[in-house]
Amino acid sequence: MSKAFTDNPLRIATPPEASRVLASGTGTDPVDVEIVLPVYNEERALPASVPLLHAFLNAEAAFSWRLTIADNASTDDTSAIGRRLAQSLPGVSYLRLEQKGRGRALKAAWGAGNARVLAYMDVDLATGLQALTPLVTPLLARDSELAIGSRLVSGARVQRSFRRALISLSYNLILRTALRALFSDAQCGFKAIRADVAAALLPEISDNDWFFDTELLVTAQRRGLRIHEVAVDWVEDPDSRVRVVPTALADLRGVLRLLRGGRGARQRARPQAHSPSFP
């Protein structure tokens, strides 16, 4: 891994319900980017995905990095596989939570990290890895506060079922209409955030499941933060753990909660005395 930037990242204490396994020699030194793979019952995907991503980072990453498997209460062999991978691959760690929820896993992993930029991607690696550097570079340069992969902007190449495409387009249209969202794709599992921004925003995010992404983006936009979008290549995983209809209904309930709880996302919230600034 390349030499880390000299900035000291903001570190938050590991939640008491989480336990971490570090690879031998990995250590806890600050890195430029921590990439989190939130997983639940992914015993089939982990053995191939993690070594593939690890090899890509070793070969291509121009920044120092750590890869964290964030296991939110898996009941299959995910735990054993994750621990073995963390013990055998330098730069990989395994974080175990005893409660379900992708948002909860990301809050725990990002909160325990000590990187300048905190990222995550889906374990199926549906998003092309070549988009990782364009995703994190504006954050390392402090040109943006958050960055998201988008399947709905010019230049994106997407392979997925008509049903999934229709649900995604409809959901993002709802966000633009109801919450005046300016970002194009709330649901793509490929996002990054500066650590100092995460420390300020995460305590404001209520959702611990799939709506976490949308709530994070809406909250950031309401505070006037810069969200960088990257066109991605994306291929649907037929073995995805996502239950599309229940997840969509939960997302709609989340939209209603945000709609009732504040002004539209296009309007910047009034500054508060305790609100930090993000240069």
Q: How confident is the model at residue 46 (pLDDT cuts 50, 70, 90)?
A: very high
Write out the two tokens for 173: 């249209």
What pLDDT does 44 receive? Answer: 96
What pLDDT does 261 receive? Answer: 79
Q: How confident is the model at residue 40 (pLDDT cuts 50, 70, 90)?
A: very high
Class of domain 18-159+189-202+220-235: alpha beta
Q: Quick check: 266 pLDDT over 50?
A: no
Residue range 120-137, pLDDT digits in tens = 999 999 999 999 999 999
Q: Quick check: 37 pLDDT over 60?
A: yes
Residue range 57-99, pLDDT digits in tens = 999 999 999 999 999 999 999 999 999 999 999 999 999 999 9
What pLDDT does 264 receive? Answer: 38
Partnered with residue 70 across adjacent β-strands are 38, 95
What pLDDT does 150 receive? Answer: 97
Q: Quick check: 12 pLDDT over 60?
A: no
What pLDDT does 91 receive? Answer: 96
Q: Give the C-alpha distances (Å, rounded to integers) separating 48 from 22, 53, 126, 260.
A: 19, 9, 13, 43
What pLDDT does 161 receive? Answer: 82
What pLDDT does 228 receive? Answer: 98
Residue range 146-194, pLDDT digits in tens = 999 999 999 999 988 888 788 888 888 999 999 999 999 998 999 999 9
Q: Residue 139: which residues within 8 A CB-CB, separation 6 or more?
A: 116, 117, 145, 146, 147, 192, 193, 194, 228
Per-chain mean pLDDT for the chain: 85
What pLDDT does 249 receive? Answer: 79
Asked whether 147 and 139 are in contact (CB, 8 A), the reply is yes
What pLDDT does 133 receive? Answer: 98
d(CA 12, CA 144): 21
Least confident of 69-73, 202-206, 219-223, 275-279: 275-279
What pLDDT does 239 receive? Answer: 63
What pLDDT does 43 receive? Answer: 97
d(CA 5, CA 63): 8
Catalytic residue list: 213
Write out the two tokens for 196: 């100092």
